[in-house]
Amino acid sequence: MKRLFLAVTALLITIGAKAQIESHVKWSYAAKKISATDAVVLIKATIDQGWHIYSQNVKEGGPIKTSFTFAPSKEYALVGKPSEPTPITKYEKTFGMNVGYFENSVVFQQKVKLKSAKASAVKGKLEFMTCNDSKCLPPDEVEFSIPLGK
Confidence of residue 149 (pLDDT cuts 50, 70, 90): confident
Give the SS3 label for residue 89: strand
> Helix-strand-coil percent breakdown of the chain, rounded to 5?
10, 50, 40
User: Quick one: which H or E segment has residue 47?
Assistant: strand 38-47
Asked whether residue 8 is domain-assigned, the answer is no
Residue 23 has pLDDT above 70, yes or no: yes
Asked whether residue 82 is domain-assigned, the answer is yes
Asked whether residue 46 is domain-assigned, the answer is yes
How many distinct structural domains can be found in the chain? 1
Asked whether residue 14 is domain-assigned, the answer is no
Domain residues for the domain of 85 are: 24-147
For residues 52-68, give the mean pLDDT. 96
The amino acid occupying position 136 is C
CB 25 within 8 A of CB 47: yes
